[in-house]
Amino acid sequence: MLLYGRDTETAALAERLAAAREGRGSALAVRGEAGIGKSTLVAAVAEHADGVTVLRCTGVESEHAWSFAGLQALLLPLTGHLEAIPEHHACVLSRVLGLDPAPDKDAPPGDLRFTVGLAALSLLTEAAGHQPVLCVVEDAHWLDRDSADVLLFIAKRLAAEAALMIFTVREGYAPDFPTPGLDELRLGPLDDDAAGALLTDRLGGLQYGSRSHLLRTAEGNPLALLELPLVESDARLAADWTGARSTTSRLKQVFGDRIDRLPEATRTLLLAIAADETADTGLVINVAEKLGAQLTDLAPAEADDLVRFHGDRFTFGHPLIRTAAYQNAPVFRRIEAHRVYAEVLPEDDHRRALHLAAAATGPDETVAAALEASAACLSGCGGHGVEYTIFERAALFTPDPRERGRRLLHATEAAVAAGNGPKARSLYEQILRYSDDRAVLARATLMAALVAAWANDVRESYRLYMEAADHYVAADITSTGYPLFRAVELAWQAGDFSRAEVAAEYAERIGIAHSPWVRDLAKATAGFNRSCTITVTEAVAALRNLIGIHESFGDSVSPENRGMVAWWQTLIGDIAAAERTASETVRTARQTGAAGALPRSLTLNALTEFHRGRWKDAEALASNAIEVAIELGQKIGPVKSRAYVLAPIAALRGEEEHVRELVDTALADSPGDTVVTVDIALALLDFSMGRNEEALDRLATVLESSAAGEALAYVPVAVEAAVRAGDADRVAAAFQWYAEWAEASGQAHLAAQVERCRGLLAAEHEAGAHYERAAELHKTDEGFPFETARTDLILGEWLRRARRVNEAKTRLRSAAAVFERLGAEPWSERVRRELRAAGDAGPIEAAPDLADKLTPQELQVVRLAAAGLSNREIGEQLYLSPRTAGYHLYKAYPKLGVASRNELAKLGL
């Protein structure tokens, strides 16, 4: 295939294909306007893909998109490999690809874009293990949403596979198709030389004036150069082409005029092909015959290169031809074509309902019921991205307003399951216009409240949960506990315990069984916000009660609620329990496909690792949380991971620029609710850099606010900053609150910090006893190395001042080893200064931290491998292919100085 002016692009794609042959896979989005040559470029690469399995699918601009239609077209040729992949992956794909018509009712619930994505990745990598694979996804902007989600999931995970995936995407006059994380190749216009060569090849010799005019008018668009000679022969078209319209609309007009010149029967046959996205030969011919056309009528369109027959399908020469063939037909002919399709398709074919809808001209319960039945079938294979669209269409055809509201509710719930918050909110607003059914309104309002929480609109989410409770009181009072409980949780996030109290009083007033739970959470909200009526001791007791209730339910507790329990455990200071709960929640969420719960669970797991001094692990988990949240479209996950974990770690390491970058990003994504949290990170930065007054100002402001609970764990920092700034009185009340919390928690690591603070606040001659008591308490709970090192540093400083130099050196060197291992440079420098003052200028030897040698991804893989998981099991935990898991593992081996899994277990990772 001869290409003009695309040597650089062709070489780039050929290089990627060569890399894929060697097991270095990748994905690429080729972008450009209509007619710029995207498909031609990709076809040229595929033409030279000898010994490569070439898979294709094409997005179709049609109202008849069906869930996973694109994925089916791409992967159906690989079904011979299904027996070689894990059985549960094969089962998922059998449903998704339409091979198993009966949905698995026992399949775990969850966001199936990850479940299906991992299964599809498994199939693709199995095929690539036999022969390299090239996946060509044409017109990706027209893909159904479910296929797009899964294919982008796969595209980001091909690094160690013998596979190349190429998306072609139209820029302008088409839906957006964002490809975050993927490389992009933008095709611009041909230069004058290439455009001239193409024109010469097309037309041969031309007079200079005509040639110059054609080149100027086409503006370097290859398809325009090919079509303009036809336009130039028609004065009307030529005039239209030179107007102000886009190249896309002008090309569509050209194709429309070419179609208009065809015989009526040929136009009818083209309409039949365009009206159904499958273009199945037998079906199209059947419909065309009922519309008065025959297969022989296709000849004029074939001769004009408008349509081709490829495999067992009709294909248009360009997607704009399909658009023109359909849109140029009179409305009554389009309706007639869809009516005939509905007549000839069997009742159990999902396309029948869609054709019925396209043929309808007004509300029709028969059409609405057929669409609802089709949409309901999608839930069996996780096709939420199209499910909500079809439910919404069913609602639009529903004559009865109450029934319309019910169907809109199903659409809303499917939109939430698909992660499309804006659409869910829009559907909820439609329900408010059409339905007065309190049961419908209750469920719909719950969905709207959840969407508001996703967007970090905490106050709106609280309002909606309270509104949902009102609806449940009228419809099903026994279900009122959940929205009220969630309302209290949202009030807590907003730092507004008065609203939490309102929800608790509401629960008690209506006398529901779960009102004590709501009351306990309200107590915790008040106690952790320094309420004058509820002590922090009472708050800890209330949370312990709630934790006990949830733990009594065992495995029946959802990952979302397990994540909530982990958060409560951090609040009562039981970090070890929180770590166990959070890590187990992450495993459960991954195993059951409950991806929606992953960002929060990963962030909580990261937070526990941060507190326990495993900063490298914390960074790996937080980075994973951000990646998953972005793929799910959740805004709150990246904000929390950056603000609660990554920024504080960077702050304690003294990485000023990185801290401010993380803070700015978090504030940009969620300005209101995040100010308090980033103030804590900035305070830690100031404190680490010795700016004690600034650190104290920031922390004191938070501790005096309604969101004081956010800074409770950092009161010891405020105390030390206040003492060093000569303003200890400013933190007296906050320290008393912290000491009460530490005593209620019963945790030795908190008691140690209390003793350290008492030493800082005490007279010099009394301080040493408190510091030594703190050091002894740390020995009983060794899971907090950074805090232990801080105590050793302060004790070492005191010992030096007390002229107990040898003891001081021992403490200071112990602290230095920890700070060095963690990369906490400002703290290491502080220790070095103190050692020099003690007459010890020798080098500091830190125990090697093997985790520091690994990337975040390698660290996660190595830890799971050390725990005995196979590459396949690791892949399922981390949403990677087994080969990619092995790739990371074998890259880690030489860094760790080992050669096998058996040796990993001995490293203590």
Mean pLDDT over 357-378 rounds to 85
Q: Is 110's pLDDT higher than 80?
A: no
Q: What is the pLDDT of residue 460?
A: 92
- How far apart are the C-alpha atoms of 701 and 449, rounded to whole Å? 30
Q: Is 797's pLDDT higher than 50?
A: yes
- In terms of Cα–Cα distance, which of 740, 742, 718 is closest to 729? 718
Q: What is the pLDDT of residue 768?
A: 95
Q: pLDDT > 70: what percent of the chain?
A: 91
Q: Are 272 and 344 a contacting pair, CB within 8 Å?
A: no
Q: What is the pLDDT of residue 879?
A: 84
- How far apart are the C-alpha atoms of 602 and 617, rounded to whole Å? 11
Q: What is the pLDDT of residue 211?
A: 66
Q: What is the pLDDT of residue 73?
A: 87
- How far apart are the C-alpha atoms of 255 and 76, rounded to whole Å? 32
Q: Is 59's pLDDT higher than 90?
A: no
Mean pLDDT over 883-897 rounds to 88
Using alpha carbons only, give the angle 549, 551, 553 rounded to the nearest 5 degrees: 80
How does residue 244 score in pLDDT terms, banded at 50, 70 and 90? very low
Q: What is the pLDDT of residue 64?
A: 44
Buried b (16+ CB within 10 A) or exposed e, 210-237: eeebbbebbebbbbbbbbbeebbeeeeb
Q: Is 477's pLDDT higher than 70?
A: yes
How does residue 2 score in pLDDT terms, banded at 50, 70 and 90? low
Mean pLDDT over 581-586 rounds to 92
How does residue 669 score in pLDDT terms, banded at 50, 70 and 90? confident
Q: What is the pLDDT of residue 104?
A: 47
Q: Which tops the pLDDT comparison, 312 or 122?
A: 122
pLDDT per position as a tens digit, 198-217: 877 776 655 544 667 677 77
Q: Is 413's pLDDT higher than 50?
A: yes
Mean pLDDT over 148-177 rounds to 91
Mean pLDDT over 258-280 rounds to 87
208, 224, 232, 239, 262 from 235: Cα distances, Å: 19, 16, 7, 6, 19
Q: Which of 253-267, 502-516, 590-604, 609-623 has the lowest mean pLDDT?
A: 590-604
pLDDT per position as a tens digit, 681-707: 999 999 999 999 999 999 999 998 877
Q: Which of 360-364, 419-423, 708-712 has the lowest mean pLDDT?
A: 419-423
Q: What is the pLDDT of residue 70?
A: 87
30, two tokens: 């080729």
Using alpha carbons only, give the angle 363, 65, 127 rounded to the nearest 5 degrees: 155
115, 409, 494, 859 from 714: Cα distances, Å: 39, 44, 19, 28
Q: What is the pLDDT of residue 218?
A: 75
Q: What is the pLDDT of residue 86?
A: 87
Q: What is the CATH number of domain 851-907?
A: 1.10.10.10
Q: Is 527's pLDDT higher than 60?
A: yes
Q: What is the mean pLDDT of the chain?
A: 87
Q: Is 805's pLDDT higher than 90?
A: yes
Q: What is the pLDDT of residue 32?
A: 93
Q: What is the pLDDT of residue 709?
A: 86
Q: What is the pLDDT of residue 105?
A: 44
Mean pLDDT over 844-849 rounds to 64
383, 386, 432, 455 from 112: Cα distances, Å: 8, 13, 29, 21
CATH fold of 7-186 reads Rossmann fold (3.40.50)
Buried b (16+ CB within 10 A) or exposed e, 891-909: bbbeebebeebeebeeeeb
- Where exactly are the structural domains of the chain? 7-186, 192-244, 259-351, 651-743, 747-847, 851-907
Q: List 28's β-bridge partners, or say none.
A: 166, 183
How does residue 281 score in pLDDT terms, banded at 50, 70 and 90? confident
Q: pLDDT > 90: what percent of the chain?
A: 50
In sequence order, the 6+-apart residues with CB closer than 8 A to the CB of 509 are none
CATH superfamily of 747-847: Tetratricopeptide repeat domain (1.25.40.10)
pLDDT per position as a tens digit, 831-842: 999 999 998 877
Q: Are 791 and 803 a contacting pair, CB within 8 Å?
A: no
Q: Which of 68-72, 214-218, 567-571, 895-899 has the lowest mean pLDDT?
A: 214-218
- How far apart are the C-alpha atoms of 318 and 288, rounded to whole Å? 21
Q: List 26's β-bridge partners, or say none.
A: 164
Q: Which tops the pLDDT comparison, 272 or 382?
A: 272
Mean pLDDT over 362-367 rounds to 90
- Maximum CA pair distance of the chain? 106
How does residue 65 score in pLDDT terms, banded at 50, 70 and 90? low
In sequence order, the 6+-apart residues with CB closer than 8 A to the CB of 293 are 265, 266, 268, 269, 272
Say whether 851-907 and 747-847 share the same fold. no
- How far apart are the C-alpha atoms of 612 and 576, rounded to whole Å? 8
- How far apart are the C-alpha atoms of 652 and 825, rounded to whole Å? 8
